[in-house]
Structure 1
Amino acid sequence: MSAEPPTLPPARLRTEAELARDALAAPLLARAVRLARWAGPGTRVGAGGELVDAQLPAAAEHLGLAADEDGAAEASEAWRLAVDAGLVDVEDPDEAAGPDAEGTATAGENLALVTGGSPKDVLSIWLDGLEAVHADATAPVFDDLADLVGEDGSIDFESLDWDPEAEAEFLDGVLGNLYLLTVGDGHGGTDPAPVPLPALAASVIVPDDMGEPTDDILEQVSEAMMRLDDQFRVLEPIGIVEYRPVDEALLVEEGEDAAPPADDEDITRYGMVKLTPLGLYGLRTRMLEAGVDAPAIGDLADKGADALLGGVAYYPEAAARSEVELWLARRGGADGAAAELLAAARGTDRQAPLRRLHCQQALALVGAEAEPAVRGVLDDPELGGLARVWLAELGAAGVPAPPESMIFWLAVDTIAAQLEADGDLDELQGLVEGLAGQHSGFFDEVWRVEHPATADVLEAMGRLHSDKKKAKEARKAAFKARSRKRT
């Protein structure tokens, strides 16, 4: 029943129905759907499935776009997404008909799912679109494609200073950091603050152990900012981010680069990006497919109590509470849920004290209905102290006084849980000093406690206690505990 901390904090996702509505409202997918419905037997496509140039003005007009190059480019982009997302099926032209032959387009299988499918179907279409847009965001920008075409008509990609794997890795690293900043607020990313583009660029450029960045590093950050500015402009229409671009007035003519902001400058002018709820879902899905441990609140609702207590062991408080509430909502009887939680809280492994701490917190959400199950473990050597504390907090009558051995065992277990949780140092120090001060001769007795973490807890108390005399007593007690364990 042991657990390791997840790679990322848990995300709080919207329902699939809400996410599907967001996906259909994403400007690029909405345009792709409209073009897929617009396409018919007379729609003319090129060898790569793209709309021929002559069709672009009509496509742009159908979408309500400007009758200029920008409108044609946006219409072309929407059409490509329709093809990539399976909203349109393209039949390539017959090669025997010559180089100027055109293909045809028909409605794709996925088009009917936009209105007739489930939310999961819609999200699957959107995810296909996200992958296509992600690939576009990492593709090089050609000033003149003709310069890259060889005599045989093929494109000379080797002449490009472009590493597709490195570009994808760079963007994924940035998106991963944006995801972490979004879910790292303790609430799963429900209302994230926009992140300044310079800070996001620096997060993948500046080494963690670097103090003052060098001029070379600052230049790399500046270059990364401009790459990201282009990439987020491409990603925003699919709905994964809200993006405020870099103020063009800041661009330097030479290389169209922008220097990182000084402390007294308006940081928002250098670009601000915020992950949307749909983007949170999309990035998490991509991470899971890549094998990253990216939990979401609700993942444990259908699992057993052992998985619940192990899973929430390292969650932020608000996220853990939400997960437990969802788990309890799936259980029929409160008493049965309480018994299951208490059974899962037993153990002598490293995470067992933390499971017992979360068990006690979960029982508080169950309420008074858990009392029979809690009273049933009063004599349990591992759960008896927890049960007494819980019943006392409930205000229950007839709670038996704990034996002294149970008091010391509970003190060790409580500190062990906090050490495993790696919580606030000041709070932990207060807990250590409070428990040690409750009993005269605490360190003369506690080293005898039959708890797997006794020696480790005493060593920690020796480091944390502000009273030098008490700290020394704790270290001596830790030595006795380890010597006793060896014998």
Structure 2
Amino acid sequence: MPASPPPLPPVRLPSDAVLARDALAAPLLTRAVRLARWAGPATRVGAGGELVDAQLAEAASVLGLPDDEDGEADASEAWRVAVDTGLVTVRDPEAGAEADEEGTVEPGGMLPLVTGGAPRDVLGLWLDGLETVCADAATPFFDDPEALTGLVGEDGEIDFEALDWDPEAEAEFLDGVLANLYLLTVAEGGSGDAPVPLPALAASMVVPPDDMGEPSDAVLEQVSEVMMRLDDQFRLLEPMGVVEYRPVDEALLGEDAQEPDAGAAGAPDVDDEDVARYGLVRLTPLGLYGIRSRLLESGVDAPAVGDLAERDAAALLTAVAAFPQDAARAETELWLARRAPLAAARELLAGAKGADAAGPLRRLHCQQALALVGADAEPAVREVLDDPELGGLARVWLVERGAPSVPAPPEEMVFWLTVDTIAAQLAADGDLSELTDLIEGLTGRHSGFFEQAWRVDHPATAEVLEAVGRLHRDRRLAKDARKAAFKARSRA
């Protein structure tokens, strides 16, 4: 079976109330609501629910849009959102009516939610509108609609094969773009503050980042083509409040325009303004919420800070081990906010126990969480001073806080804590030089460390000693560590 993809970092989202406010302020949803309130018994629609041509100009006028094709196109898009979200309800012609007879509309059942719905109701309405916009963004634009005349079959359906257009493939492409944009956003801390250069996003759809060396001319051409597709799509998505988008500078679109370097966003000799001319896109908080919702529906694990607030301590400590530092702290603070300090400390300590492979990291994050609890945790910490797994952690915590009367640990506990601490840092996969410094510092505190360490009754003893043998800069001590690792393996 293929390996499971690594979990996405957690996203930090505003409250539902703030997101709902942003949803109602999205220009496209605002226009859809205005059209729904404007529509009445005299409003006529075609067989597909679209406004008839005679009423598009009036709809554009109601919305304050220009009296031209662009204004009517924007009005038509807003009307589609109104229909698809249930802000208006389309009534087809009566049975037996003439083929060219038009349908009518009436206010939809979702319209009252705009002013009277809970934040979740408003967000559900917005998500329905997002589906419509994504479907439109995945549909090619034709400058000359008459060119489609010969491609429509007797059943009224367009021959997509003749168009060389695969609707499912286009939808999957857009989903991939939005998923990559989401990943690039949450990887930077989860709040979406930094925009993503369009060439970098386009390159992520052409070549996996790990395989990208010096891009060939063929790769650059592909990146350029994808950029143009994305430019059209983000122009459609922006009015729904999904993204903030700075389009590609039209001066770069001439015949002699230089193709963008797929790695230009990170090149030190490229000015930020030069990168921006190729387009910048940023997921808004509302966009993060929307794309996360789509990812969750497709079965992707896309956590958000706060998801663990009602889970037990073991689940919290296990999950935050994979989080960036800031997100781990924010998640832990939300978890602590729902509990009394002393009870939380006891639950954290109980959740940190265990001889499984994840145990060392749980204890590391338990220690960090106890630091957030503060002095109120001291009674709970003193209760575990004699615990073989937690006693060393408890002493370290008490000493760091300057607590009085901290008993000296037995030698066995000191060695166990040393192995546990190194095992946690190995699992954390942090900076290699910092890990080496930690290893040398911890093992150097005890003369003859490796003569005793292989006897430590810890499930990671052999693994830790092997790592020390690889990383220790003193060749003699590294050899001693490897010998000790062999003894530990034999003992096991």
TM norm structure 2: 0.94
Partner of 2:171: 168
Pick closer, same or farther for the CA change 1:210–1:152 going to 2, 3 Å.
closer
1:190-205 alignment, distance < 5 Å: 191-205=192-206
Whole-Å separation in 1 of the counterparts to 2:255 and 2:68: 26
Shift of 1:453: 0.1
Deviations along 1:41-71, one digit per CA (max 9) or x if unpaired, are: 1111111000001001111111011111111
Partner of 2:28: 28
1:292-307 alignment, distance < 5 Å: 292-307=300-315
Shift of 1:212: 1.6
Corresponding residue to 2:236 among 229, 234, 237 = 234
Q: 2:265 aligned with 1:267, yes or no?
A: no
Partner of 1:356: 363
Whole-Å separation in 2 of the counterparts to 1:303 and 1:12: 18
Deviations along 1:456-475, one digit per CA (max 9) or x if unpaired, are: 00111111111111111111
Pick closer, same or farther for the CA change 1:108–1:302 going to 2, 3 Å.
same
Contact 2:160 2:166 in 1 (8 A): no
- Structure 1 stretches of 4+ moved >4 Å: 261-265
Shift of 1:96: 3.0
Deviations along 1:375-397, one digit per CA (max 9) or x if unpaired, are: 01000000000000011111110
Shift of 1:334: 1.4
Shift of 1:259: 2.1
Deviations along 1:62-95, one digit per CA (max 9) or x if unpaired, are: 1011111111111011000000111110012246
Whole-Å separation in 1 of the counterparts to 2:406 and 2:106: 75
1:459-478 alignment, distance < 5 Å: 459-478=466-485
Q: 2:296 aligned with 1:288, yes or no?
A: yes
Partner of 2:80: 80
1:8-47 alignment, distance < 5 Å: 8-47=8-47
1:288-327 alignment, distance < 5 Å: 288-327=296-335
Corresponding residue to 1:329 among 319, 332, 337 = 337
Corresponding residue to 2:430 among 412, 423, 436 = 423
Which one-letter code corresponds to 1:57 in the other structure?
A
Secondary structure, counterpart of 1:106 in structure 2: strand
Shift of 1:253: 4.8
Q: 2:74 aligned with 1:71, yes or no?
A: no
Contact 1:95 1:101 in 2 (8 A): no
Whole-Å separation in 2 of the counterparts to 1:152 and 1:357: 65
Deviations along 1:117-145, one digit per CA (max 9) or x if unpaired, are: 00000000000011111111111222323
Q: Which moved more, 1:93-102 or 1:130-139?
A: 93-102
Partner of 1:137: 137
Pick closer, same or farther for the CA change 1:435–1:200 going to 2, 3 Å.
same
Shift of 1:6: 5.4
Deviations along 1:425-467, one digit per CA (max 9) or x if unpaired, are: 1111111011011111111111110000000001111111111
Whole-Å separation in 2 of the counterparts to 1:385 and 1:132: 57
TM norm structure 1: 0.95
Contact 1:10 1:294 in 2 (8 A): yes
Which one-letter code corresponds to 2:176 in the other structure?
G
Whole-Å separation in 1 of the counterparts to 2:152 and 2:5: 51
Secondary structure, counterpart of 1:111 in structure 2: coil
Q: Matched residues, percent identical?
A: 73
Shift of 1:99: 2.8
Contact 1:328 1:337 in 2 (8 A): yes
Partner of 1:407: 414
Corresponding residue to 1:278 among 286, 290, 298 = 286
Contact 2:47 2:102 in 1 (8 A): yes
Q: Which moved more, 1:80-89 or 1:264-273?
A: 264-273
Corresponding residue to 1:149 among 134, 152, 167 = 152
Corresponding residue to 1:214 among 213, 216, 234 = 216
Q: 2:378 aligned with 1:376, yes or no?
A: no
Q: 2:413 aligned with 1:391, yes or no?
A: no
Pick closer, same or farther for the CA change 1:99–1:253 going to 2, 3 Å.
farther
Which one-letter code corresponds to 2:165 in the other structure?
W
- Show structure 1 runs of 5+ residues with no match: none
Question: What RMSD, in angstroms, separates the aligned Cα atoms of the two structures?
Answer: 1.7
- Show structure 2 runs of 5+ residues with no match: none
Shift of 1:258: 7.0
Shift of 1:151: 5.2
Partner of 1:345: 352
